[in-house]
Chain A
Amino acid sequence: MPFEMLLGAWVAAGLTLFIFTFLYKDNPLFKLAEHLYVGISVGYTIVKVYDTVIIRLLYEPMVKQGDWSLLVPLGIGMLMLARYFPKITWLSRIAFAFIVGVGSGLAIPRIISSYILKQVEDTVRPLVSLAAEGGPTFTYNLLDPASNLNALVLLIGVVSVLFYFFFSIEHKGPVRVAAHTGILFLMISFGAAFGYTVMARMSLLIGRLTDLIEFADPQYGRASLWLLLATVATLIVWSVRRGEQKEG
């Protein structure tokens, strides 16, 4: 077992357990791990951005391949940093205007095509083919998402939810019926979303515990078990000390 793997296992198991202590109470071990996490993630991002943007996207193409047109984005990027100097903050607006302008322009036709047109097309197309074919070929297999019955249910769902969110007209009469149907569909969808969220969160926990179980192996010197004992002991000492401080 290489030393760095052994040390890594102990550090990883220890930090994992420190964060789990939050389930008991907010305590110094958790705070230590939490602040370390923020520091390391930000540090990692900075290193990666420097390596990718400065070295790989700017320095190498400009100096090694002579692509000097990249001075333009470099200049605009530097303008953004003018935000830190109160007298010339307005210069950063030019950079933001450029990014936001390009971003908005790029987004509009793409969103219209991908989300609005395509989604409406897929809701309506099965019904057009249904209207063309007629009665005897009506498929009603609920388990097949592409069946005609499901296409109708889907249309009812989409329209009623859109009606629910349309607040510019009063929800009275037939609109009220549509809106209430929409609410029922929404509740089912939220229920499904909750079920999937539970599934996702449990999976994350399963992942961490799998790692802890792996690090409890003798080849890692039973890291998880010894560190668990140490963490629990530290928590007990800390709890008792805090209790004494409160009384005193």
Chain B
Amino acid sequence: MIFLRRQLPLLITFVMGLVFAAQYYVPHPASEQLLTTVNKWIQIIGGFALVLGVTSLFHLHAVKIRRKEAGWGYSFVLYAGLLGTIAVGLWANGKEAVNGALTAFGWMYSYMMVPLQGTMFAILAFFIASAAYRSFRARSREAAVLLVAAVIVMMGRVPLGEYLVPISGDFSQWILNVLNTSVRRAILIGISLGAVALSLKIIFGIERAYLGGGKE
């Protein structure tokens, strides 16, 4: 039983990991067929994984409503939005438009979800301005370099900046294409080496956090 609970998952990870790492280098039609079939399966299983993430949210707010904690009215609004969207969506068979005509599901998407999500992120513009004013100070030489680079790029990427100070456009292009590229390249190489190392650790069973909890 312990084999099934503890060793089997690690064995599956090991075998699958090695098979698909090797598959990349094997051009034989059977290997390509294996790649196609298993990736198709991963798509389907990935869909189930999405469902898991959602249910913890259900639970949290259901508890709030049941216990009538402070702000439970808002949890009720959340549930109403959730169930309303599901009901409307299933009625429209998951389609936002049928033959060019907007369904109720499409209406909810266009006139409720898009403005809500869009505005949630749009108010960040105000916070970035306020944060820049309060904390973007040239406390040291490095901070001053950061500041100057930021000002040049902000000026160079807008028509007014290029009109007033034409060189700012070229300068910001140089900063992006050469200086910024070199840094991002180094970071990309570093992160990729780390990702490869982590993947190898997972395949060889050294890293097991992905298995999650549960009784051994």
Direct A/B contact, Cβ within 8 angstroms: yes
Q: Which residues of A contact B (CB under 8 A)?
A: 4, 7-9, 11-13, 15-16, 19-20, 22-23, 31-53, 55, 57-58, 69-70, 72-74, 76-78, 80-81, 83-84, 86, 89-90, 92-112, 115-116, 119-120, 123, 142-143, 145, 150, 153-159, 161-162, 165, 182-199, 201-202, 204-205, 207-208, 211
Please report whether the interface of chain A is mostly helix, strand, loop or mixed according to DSSP.
Answer: helix
Determine the chain B residues whose CB is within 8 A of the CB of A190 once the complex forms: 146, 149
B133 within 8 A of A: no
- Kindly report which residue of chain A lies nearest to residue B37, judged by CB atoms: A69
A194 and B146 in contact, given A77-B45, A112-B192 (Cβ under 8 angstroms) = yes
Determine the chain B residues whose CB is within 8 A of the CB of A207 once the complex forms: 118, 122
Determine the chain A residues whose CB is within 8 A of the CB of B45 once the complex forms: 73, 76-77, 80, 95, 98-99
Cβ contact within 8 Å between A19 and B179:
no
B166 within 8 A of A: no
B63 within 8 A of A: no
Additional A-B contacts beyond A15-B112, A35-B74, A145-B178 (9; CB < 8 A): A37-B117, A39-B82, A44-B89, A92-B214, A97-B8, A101-B13, A106-B21, A195-B152, A195-B154
Closest beta carbon of chain B to A26's beta carbon, Å: 12
Count chain B residues whose beta carbon lies closer than 8 angstroms to a beta carbon of A: 128
B30 within 8 A of A: no
- Kindly report which residue of chain B lies nearest to residue A196, judged by CB atoms: B153
Cβ contact within 8 Å between B210 and A100:
yes
Determine the chain A residues whose CB is within 8 A of the CB of B143 once the complex forms: 187
Determine the chain A residues whose CB is within 8 A of the CB of B147 once the complex forms: 191
Please report whether the interface of chain B is mostly helix, strand, loop or mixed according to DSSP.
Answer: helix
20 contacts between A and B (CB under 8 A): A19-B120, A20-B123, A35-B74, A47-B85, A47-B105, A49-B47, A72-B41, A94-B8, A105-B18, A109-B24, A110-B24, A116-B192, A119-B189, A153-B182, A186-B183, A188-B145, A188-B180, A189-B184, A204-B118, A211-B115
Closest beta carbon of chain A to B35's beta carbon, Å: 8
B159 within 8 A of A: no
Determine the chain A residues whose CB is within 8 A of the CB of B51 once the complex forms: 46, 49, 81
Cβ contact within 8 Å between B116 and A37:
yes
In the complex, what distance in Å separates the CA atom of A186 from the CA atom of B212? 37
